[in-house]
Structure 1
Amino acid sequence: MTDAPPLALTGRLFDGETLWPHATVLMREGRVLDVGADLAVPDGTRVLDAGPDGTILPGLVDLHVHARPHYARWFPAAGVTTVRDAGGSLDVLTELRALAAAGEGPRVFGAGTILDGPESIFQHFGEGVLGEVGDRRAGAWTVRDTREAAAAVDALAAAGVDTVKLYEQLSPEAYGAAVRRAREHGLPVMTDLGTRWTRGLSAARVDALEALGLGVRTVEHASGFALAFRRLGFDPETQFPDEATLDRFARALVEAGAVLVPTLSVHEGLRQARRADLEALPNGDHAGEVADSLRAMWDGLHAATAQSRPAADWDTRLAATLTRRVLDLGGQVGAGTDTPAGVDNLPGGGLHAELVHLVTLAGLSPTEALRAATGTAGRVLAGQEGPTVGVLRPGAHADALIVEGDPTRDLTATRRLRVVVRAGRMWV
């Protein structure tokens, strides 16, 4: 990042909700000062004009990532100026926040350590990944009962997390206790309850309908609905939800005021025999040790999961169908990728693929998809003052993009980045 004077962006503007034919966004000291069609620009302001073919956007928000310091810069470089980190150790979250404060990474809203039961899948991820409550180096904590659930949420709140992540194998009693304690701390809950492809039918204890009844804020991956489908008397191995069941699931999300984060990118990568064209995405041409390690991980997973693609296809269809139905019922959908999990799920650049998946797989309009990564995402992360990311309005963080083209008509325009502004400064 470089020092910069006050900044004004002028031209066609998508502010996170609506399209302005022409507007000016005035930024000062890292915040948006004003937005309007006929703003007077103070002397000494640096002016960037989007021109007749460009569009100004808020910095994009990825609501589901597993970021690591060694690729933190990839996010702003791809126009993703804010992420919600969906689980990792508290030590890693501290590193990511330090990079953000130094202008070396995206803004980070973090869950910190995931809470899961004693039979957690994380016990197979290597020594130290699954630990006891309070272990700052562990990616997940073992929670056995209601007392430990409350203590774990207390510890996360004391560590300053922004949300609490509840995982598949928590007992119903511990899960409910964690949600209640999070509410006492004013912390939203995000949840992954497993899918048909993962452990949603073999190991998960709580289904999506139960979680929504308890008051979770976001349901990730459309998880927990495969288990709910089975508990309604169906067989997910041979049946797909009918219209009435799909409507029941979508209404449960809307009536709970919860946001669906479908992460179509992780589903899509697992169900497809063909590989994604990463070079079409920002960061897709990266070389070096980090890029090589990610590609090796994806290659191995793609080969190892070939026999599981029918289950991943089922999960993709469910997530995509619920996405459209939730919006039709007046609910909310947020954009997230689960990067780098899955196959070819690129940090930063993958959010641009997710936007297209929301259109091609779920039937959203380009504007609806953009809202999922801007205005709606900002509301998911908002405090009492309202959204400060994902929008361009007075008081918001001065994070913005200028892209070539009009992404409300052609979503691939988001990939044609001309300018990235992070905290009122040009990203370099």
Structure 2
Amino acid sequence: MIPAQRQKYNQQFTTEKYNAFLTQLGEGYPEIPFRVAETPIFVPQGLKEKLIAAGEEIIKLIKQPDFKALTDKAIPADWKVPNENEQPHFLTFDFGICKNDAGELSPMLIEMQGFPSLYGFQHHLAKTFKSSFGIDDTVNHFLNGFTEEKYIALLKEVIIGKHQPEEVALMDVDAHNQKTAIDFFVTQKMLGIKILALEDIKKIGRQLFYEEGGRQIQLKRIYNRLIFDEVANDTRIFENSFDPREELDIEWVTHPNWFYRISKYTMPFLKSEFVPETRFLNEIETLPADLENYVLKPLFSFAGMGVIIDVSASDITSIKDPENWILQRKVNYEPAVQSPDGGVKAEIRMMYLWPDGGEPQLCINLARLSRGKMIGVRYNANFDWVGGTVGFMEI
């Protein structure tokens, strides 16, 4: 998208360089099970400014005094966790890169989450791209004036807080074997916190502990990477550990309720040039005549599961719980990233950190490239110049 950067990158790209880059990226870490794209995205100033403006509009809604009341129904009754705090610690907004009516590249909101993303891995990825491919200092993967030092300091403030690193753990069901485990290990290296599977944590009274070197260490704060949607059908996993829905003496980063509050559920409340028309299915009295221009999405799903792209009236009438679905106008991605054999579609995730008692701060980004019908890595398995990557923004 920055023509000079793209031309320079593509001219010096070779498969050998790419393979060496992948080797360097994975050195000292478990194998990366998802596809990392051959290229970063070079984001021009105009598009960067639109991405920032779009994020600020969303944050304005989240900071409204009535936001919790507005989103109370977003949290499934079975998965409400007590002792919710006043703010999420992470905000991630996914934007498809499109063209607006003026023919300019412009972001359109696809997804949003009050849940952590690859905050460790994305920095590691950008540093490796930069060193492997000689990317110059006129672009940066950080935003808002962040440097590596400032970024890691804020990550520590948000994730560790006032505690010691050994009192804080990154937690997931089977943490060491998750698809995103490399992010867990990069984060551990950055911050010195533990990586714990759910079954590594035991409850005594209201307190949580893990064992190391024959001693019990109390957990004070959990960097939560457990998504309830993924375990909803088998809650027996909590039997050998603890159930997050119990009253516990633990601080959450971020509290699980925010995963639901800031999600597809929030999108119908947003009215913006950067947000496609989105309505709760149960509130639609007359279906649009041009259903082919809409997509049907379940509110409670993960990584694109259950999304119906080519919607028919029968799809809608067959849904038994319309209150748990949204109908959203399709976003037409522009194949704006030039690969050696044509344009590739792109999505950029703007990633914020929100320290306790502070303000949300835009720090870093994640990007994905696609040639398939959907952007996610799982939908592009048989293509090249697709997969997870990072945006280098014009300074």
Q: TM-score, normalised by structure 2?
A: 0.30
More strand by share: 2
TM-score, length basis structure 1: 0.28
Question: Which structure exhibits the higher relative contact order, with contacts defined as CA atoms closer than 8 Å and separated by 6 or more residues?
Answer: 2
